[in-house]
Amino acid sequence: QTLNPSIEDIAKAIENANADNVIVLPNNSNIIMAAYAAKDLVEGVNVEIIPTKYMTQAIECLVHFSPSVEFNVNVEMMNDAIEELVNFEITTAIKDTSIEGVEIKANDYLGIKNGKIVYSMPNIEDLLKNIADDFIKLDCEHITILKGVDGEESLITSISEYIEEECAFTEIEVHD
C-alpha cells in the first residue's frame, strides 16, 4: 500500500510499452486516479484505464483479453469482467478495533470482501469456511485462489475440497 507508483512512473510505463494502444490495470484504489492523470500526460498513445482495485480483477481482465478483437472491444469486455467479480482478501489484524459493526481483535484473521471487512476470526479455518460459504451462496462458476507467501497448502486443499463437495460444478483454480 505504501509503494504506489507516481503519475510520472505510470506515464513512463505507458510510453515504454512502445505500443499504439495501452490498457492500464492499477490493481489498487489508491492508484486509479494517478493512472487517469498519467493517461492525460501521454501523447500519441491510445490509453484506457480499467479501474481494477484488486489483483483478482486484473487476472479476470487478462482472461477476457483477446488479441484477435479490436482495442475498444477488449476494453469493454475487461470492464464487464470486473463488474460481477467478488474479491475476498485475507489478512491479519494489527490492533483491537471495531469497523462497521465488525469487532476486531489484534491477530484475528480478517475476511475483506470487495474492500470491506466482513469477518474477524481467531481461527483461519473458520474464516476460510465462512468465505467459502459466501461463494457457495453466490453459486459461483469459477473461483480463483491466490496463495500468498505464508499460505498453507493444506488449508488451500481443505477449503477447495469443501467447496467442491458443496458445489460440484464450481471450477477452482489455485495460483501461488
pLDDT tens digit sequence for 89-110: 999 999 999 999 999 999 999 9
Give the pLDDT of residue 1: 59
- Name the residue with cell 482495485: 53
pLDDT tier at 126 (50, 70, 90 boundaries)? very high
Q: Where are the beta strands (DSSP E) in 11-73?
A: 21-24, 46-49
Residue 149 reports pLDDT greater than 80: yes
Residue 113 reports pLDDT greater than 70: yes
Give the pLDDT of residue 151: 86
Q: Cα(61)–Cα(81) distance, rounded to whole angstroms?
A: 6
